[in-house]
Amino acid sequence: MVKVGVAETDIAQGLKGRDLLTLLDYTSGELTYLLDKALQMKKATAEGNLPPLLAGKTLGMIFEKHSTRTRISFEVGMIHLGGHAMFMNARDLQIGRGESIYDTGHVLSEYLDGVMIRANSHEMVKELATHTTVPVINGLTDIFHPCQALADLLTIKEVKGSLAGLKLAYVGDGNNVAHSLVIAAAHMGMKVAVATPVGFEFNPNLLVKAKAIASQNGGSVYETTNPIEAVSDADVVYTDVWASMGQEQEAQARLKAFKAFQINDKLVAHAKKDYLFLHCLPAHREEEVATSVIDGPNSYVFQQAGNRLHAQKAVLASLL
Report DSSP letters for 81-144, one per residue: TT-EEEEEEGGGSGGGGT--HHHHHHHHHHH-SEEEEE-S-HHHHHHHHHT-SS-EEEEE-SS-
226 is in an annotated binding site: no
Q: From the candidates 179, 187, 280, 310, which is the catalytic residue?
A: 280
Q: From the candidates 262, 308, 310, 312, which is the catalytic residue?
A: 308
Give me the sheet containing 136-140, strands edge to edge: 84-89, 58-63, 114-118, 136-140
Contact indicator for 23, 184 with CB cutoff of 8 Å: yes
In the chain, the amino acid numbered 169 is A
308 is in an annotated binding site: yes
216 is in an annotated binding site: no
Length of the chain: 320
Q: Does the active-site annotation cover 312? A: no
247 is in an annotated binding site: no
Instruction: Report d(CA 119, CA 125) in Å as an integer.
Output: 7
Q: From the candidates 19, 152, 235, 240, which is the catalytic residue?
A: 240
67 is in an annotated binding site: yes
180 is in an annotated binding site: no
Q: Does the active-site annotation cover 148? A: yes
Q: From the candidates 19, 80, 113, 118, which is the catalytic residue?
A: 118
Q: From the candidates 148, 262, 304, 312, which is the catalytic residue?
A: 148
280 is in an annotated binding site: yes
Neighbouring C-beta atoms of residue 156, cutoff 10 Å: 26
Instruction: Report d(CA 165, CA 303) in Å as an integer.
Output: 22
91 is in an annotated binding site: no
Contact indicator for 145, 177 with CB cutoff of 8 Å: yes
176 is in an annotated binding site: yes
254 is in an annotated binding site: no
Q: From the candidates 19, 113, 142, 145, which is the catalytic residue?
A: 145
Q: Does the active-site annotation cover 308? A: yes
133 is in an annotated binding site: no
For the annotated binding site for L-ornithine, the residues are 176, 240, 244-245
For the annotated binding site for carbamoyl phosphate, the residues are 67-70, 94, 118, 145-148, 280-281, 308
For the annotated binding site, the residues are 67-70, 94, 118, 145-148, 176, 240, 244-245, 280-281, 308
For the annotated catalytic residues, the residue numbers are 118, 145, 148, 240, 280, 308
